[in-house]
């Protein structure tokens, strides 16, 4: 494969775009420029076509350029782009989400997951009158100041003790003492969580977690872990924030909360909700179980949430169309089936090639990494992965026209076919065999 046009454009981009990209996560050893995407395929400016399992970091649950979504966006945009007032489609979308998402009594739309996560933490503080929130190592809740600690670490030793982890800053530019705003813990350890929350109950406004840990590995919650969070939050008057930016519309129409049957106080949806158009939703209970006002504080303007572009017509149209197609075509059983089939085939290929490939996840999204471990349960566990080997694996698949997220995550879309799954498994198998004999 040759990438000469991308190389030239990258050179040009670096003169005007910081780092040549629009998001930190797009930096790569081989930055590519893309020209078009259709169904399960994406094409770069050099004419190379890739079978795509990145789905633009998750949003493209219907694949690239879904015709119903594009048509809805076009039709609704022709009537105007942004009314700075209410409109029927926004209401219809809210009513639909209210019907689908267990905790969605009241909601507000924003543009990104980061904004909605930020609002959720502000709201939890206002509701409880407490200041700290508890988050888990290696989870990602956007790039804003309040959650830019505990995201990653250079190595396992840097994380410190499990009971009292180091508060590792992800970026320069954070205010002094921001570490005091949060408690960080390893995920999936209910006993440790119970002890910590009991000791700090008077300070903790919220516990925030991904439903499935997808930003490092693809790690399901241990049985009882999410319920344990629910119980602790009820016991101590803490707001349970479920970050469904990845799990929302991916595990099913009601997200991880429906899938695992755990109703949080607040939840954030984004990504797969609108096929790549900018919209997210913060939804939650009007009041906490004990009667304290929650979303009601936004309703009354006591907690501020705003945004010029919120509920813009193209994004709302895209979300409505995406939800309609997901429902009408009953997409989720197929995502699980195709994902499971690809996971099985990758395991089989790794066995044949004698490669220690751990394939972990649920189907609609899963992770591949090289380790002798048979299960990874938290961020600390992910240091058992051989990162150099993974990056070789991903790079070699890419050279053969198979695109997977650099950290080893695969997303399945409704546009993927069984033939795509076979093609992906064959390419991965070829690379694994080659690696085995190297
Ligand atoms: C779980 C989770 N929360 C929040 C975000 C932030 O969303 P956005 O990139 O739309 O700001 C992401 C993005 O990857 C995410 O995976």
* Model pLDDT for residues 304-326, shown as the tens digit of each residue: 999 999 999 999 999 999 999 99
CATH top class, domain 67-328:
alpha beta
Question: Ligand 1 pocket: which of 138, 141, 213 to mutate (most atoms <8 Å of CB)?
Answer: 141
Q: How many whole angstroms separate alpha carbon 311 and alpha carbon 304?
A: 16
Q: What is the mean pLDDT of residues 224-237?
A: 98
- What confidence category does residue 29 fall into, taking pLDDT thresholds of 50, 70 and 90? confident
Q: Looking at ligand 1, which residue's alpha carbon is closest to its atom 8?
A: 113
Q: What is the distance in A from the centroid of ligand 1 to the CA of 315?
A: 17
pLDDT in tens, 309-368: 999 999 999 999 999 999 999 999 999 999 999 999 999 999 999 999 999 999 999 999
Q: What is the distance in A from the centroid of ligand 1 to the CA of 121?
A: 15
pTM of the model: 0.98
Q: What is the distance in A from the centroid of ligand 1 to the CA of 431?
A: 31
Fold for 4-65+330-437, please state it: 3.90.1150
pLDDT in tens, 154-188: 999 999 999 999 999 999 999 999 999 999 999 99
Say what percent of the chain tops pLDDT 90: 99
- What confidence category does residue 437 fall into, taking pLDDT thresholds of 50, 70 and 90? low
Lining ligand 1 with CB less than 6 A are 112-114, 117, 140-142, 210, 215, 243, 245-246, 270
pLDDT at 438: 61
pLDDT in tens, 120-162: 999 999 999 999 999 999 999 999 999 999 999 999 999 999 9
Identify which of 111, 46, 52, 142 has the alpha carbon closest to the alpha carbon of residue 420.
Answer: 52
Q: What is the mean pLDDT of residues 263-279?
A: 98
The ranges assigned to domains in the chain are 4-65+330-437, 67-328
Q: Looking at ligand 1, which residue's alpha carbon is closest to its atom 13?
A: 142
- What confidence category does residue 417 fall into, taking pLDDT thresholds of 50, 70 and 90? very high
């Amino acid at each position: 494969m040759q990438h000469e046009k991308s190389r030239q454009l990258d050179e040009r981009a670096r003169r005007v775009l910081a780092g040549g990209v629009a998001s930190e996560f797009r930096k790569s050893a081989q930055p590519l420029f893309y020209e078009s995407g259709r169904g399960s395929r994406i094409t770069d400016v050099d004419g190379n076509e890739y079978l795509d399992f990145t789905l633009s970091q998750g949003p493209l649950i219907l694949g690239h350029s879904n015709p119903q979504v594009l048509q809805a966006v076009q039709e609704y945009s022709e009537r105007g782009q942004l009314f700075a007032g209410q409109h029927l489609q926004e209401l219809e979308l809210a009513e639909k989400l209210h019907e689908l998402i267990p905790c969605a009594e009241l909601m507000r739309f924003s543009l990104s997951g980061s904004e909605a996560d930020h609002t959720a933490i502000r709201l939890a503080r206002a509701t409880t009158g407490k200041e700290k929130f508890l988050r888990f190592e290696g989870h990602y809740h956007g790039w804003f100041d309040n959650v830019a600690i505990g995201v990653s670490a250079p190595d396992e030793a840097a994380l410190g003790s499990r009971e009292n982890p180091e508060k590792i800053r992800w970026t320069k530019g954070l205010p002094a003492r921001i570490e005091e705003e949060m408690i960080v813990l390893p995920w999936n350890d209910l006993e440790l969580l119970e002890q910590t929350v009991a000791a700090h109950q008077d300070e903790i406004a919220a516990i925030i977690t991904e439903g499935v840990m997808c930003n490092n590995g693809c790690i399901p919650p241990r049985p009882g872990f999410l319920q344990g969070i629910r119980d602790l939050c009820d016991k101590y008057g803490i707001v349970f924030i479920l970050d469904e930016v990845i799990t929302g519309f991916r595990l099913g129409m009601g997200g991880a909360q429906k899938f695992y049957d755990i109703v949080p106080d607040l939840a954030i949806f984004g990504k797969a909700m609108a096929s790549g158009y900018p919209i997210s939703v913060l939804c939650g209970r009007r009041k906490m179980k004990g009667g304290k006002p929650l979303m009601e504080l936004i309703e009354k303007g006591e907690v501020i949430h705003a945004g010029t572009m919120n509920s813009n017509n193209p994004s709302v149209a895209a979300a409505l169309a995406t939800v309609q197609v997901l429902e009408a075509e009953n997409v989720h059983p197929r995502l699980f089936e195709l994902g499971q089939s690809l996971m099985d085939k990758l395991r089989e290929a790794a066995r044949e090639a004698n490669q220690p490939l751990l394939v972990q996840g649920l189907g609609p999204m899963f992770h591949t990494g090289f380790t002798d471990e048979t299960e990874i349960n938290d961020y600390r566990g992910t240091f058992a992965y051989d990162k150099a080997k993974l990056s070789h694996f991903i790079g070699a698949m890419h050279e053969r026209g198979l695109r997977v997220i650099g950290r080893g995550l695969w997303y399945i879309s409704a546009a993927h076919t069984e033939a795509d799954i076979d093609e992906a498994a064959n390419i991965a198998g070829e690379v694994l065999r080659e690696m085995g004999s190297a």
